[in-house]
């Protein structure tokens, strides 16, 4: 039975989600090639990291000559945004029948694209099958990202700089559209509109810190209002 939901997750990943993420990873592969990294390094960067902002920071830090400790903390703090996502979705498919080790493994696949697409559909999947669905969805995106990174590295000479700039923005635009699509969720509506109101105000006062604090305040307010609501 679970294989059917794994396949469903695989099918849902193939298409716009994989294309959106893959194009960004493709551009990252081109960037690695232009920065004189080799194919193995390009492969390992996505295989182990699988978080594009952190990957860019890692590469730029290496190029600038930063030491490993500084690189570690820079990537750690950049990817800390994935922790709330993990805390958000793990309870939705937690099942006593699933080995605890499996949850640690699945955490590696949790990224924005998988998180957004899972939230859009998980209530339509029975609790006992959500884990398998998410594995099919997220693992497909992870494997696809690795392949697109390698393709970008190998085919970097075939694309102009202008085209690559356009590919970079495909994924953020996809996230925005998915967020708007999920605004049927009252919690997300509150976070979305609070962020719209607070970000310009806090940015004028705190500059770049205003963006971070705006997200933190908006998310915290929504959490404390809706925290008593249990997962279905």
Q: Using 50, 70 and 90 to split pLDDT, how confident is the model at 231?
A: very low
Distance in angstroms (rounded) separating the CA atoms of residues 181 and 184:
7
pLDDT at 171: 64
Tens-digit pLDDT profile for residues 137-173: 999 999 999 999 999 999 988 877 777 777 767 767 7
The percentage of residues in the chain with a pLDDT greater than 70, rounded to a whole number, is 91
3-state secondary structure 53-94: HHHHHHHHHHHHCCCHHHHHHHHHHHHHHHHHHHHHHHHHCC
pLDDT at 134: 94
Question: Are the beta carbons of 37 and 161 closer than 8 angstroms?
Answer: no
pLDDT at 149: 94
Q: 173 vs 75, which has greater pLDDT?
A: 75
pLDDT at 12: 92
Q: Using 50, 70 and 90 to split pLDDT, how confident is the model at 229?
A: low
Q: Using 50, 70 and 90 to split pLDDT, how confident is the model at 181?
A: low
Question: Are the beta carbons of 109 and 142 closer than 8 angstroms?
Answer: yes
Distance in angstroms (rounded) separating the CA atoms of residues 50 and 84:
16
Main-chain dihedrals φ then ψ at residue 129, nearest 5 degrees: -115, -5
- The stretch 49-78 carries a mean pLDDT of 88
> In this model, does residue 228 exceed pLDDT 90?
no
Distance in angstroms (rounded) separating the CA atoms of residues 79 and 75:
6
Give the number of other Cβ atoms within 10 Å of residue 61's Cβ.
Answer: 17
Tens-digit pLDDT profile for residues 77-135: 888 888 888 988 999 988 888 888 888 889 999 988 898 889 888 888 988 899 999 99
Chain-wide mean pLDDT for the chain? 85
> In this model, does residue 1 exceed pLDDT 80?
no
Q: Using 50, 70 and 90 to split pLDDT, how confident is the model at 2?
A: low
């Amino acid at each position: 039975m679970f294989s059917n939901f794994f396949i469903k997750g695989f099918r849902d990943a193939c298409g716009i989600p994989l294309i959106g993420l893959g194009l960004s990873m493709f551009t990252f592969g081109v960037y690695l090639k232009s920065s004189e990294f080799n194919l193995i390094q390009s492969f390992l960067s996505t295989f182990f990291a699988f978080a594009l902002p952190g990957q860019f920071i890692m590469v730029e830090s290496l190029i600038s000559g930063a030491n490993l400790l500084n690189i570690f903390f820079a990537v750690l703090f950049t990817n800390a945004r994935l922790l709330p996502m993990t805390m958000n979705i793990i309870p939705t498919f937690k099942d006593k029948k699933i080995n605890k080790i499996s949850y640690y493994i699945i955490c590696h696949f949790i990224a924005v694209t998988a998180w957004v697409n899972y939230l859009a559909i998980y209530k339509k999947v029975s609790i006992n099958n959500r884990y398998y669905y998410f594995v099919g969805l997220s693992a497909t995106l992870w494997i696809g990202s690795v392949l697109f990174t390698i393709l970008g590295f190998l085919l970097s000479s075939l694309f102009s700089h202008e085209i690559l700039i356009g590919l970079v923005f495909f994924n953020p635009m996809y996230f925005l559209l998915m967020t708007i699509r999920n605004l049927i969720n009252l919690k997300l509506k509150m976070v979305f509109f609070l962020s719209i109101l607070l970000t310009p105000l806090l940015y004028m006062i705190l500059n770049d810190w205003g963006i971070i604090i705006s997200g933190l305040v908006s998310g915290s307010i929504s959490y404390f209002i809706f925290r008593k609501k249990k997962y279905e």
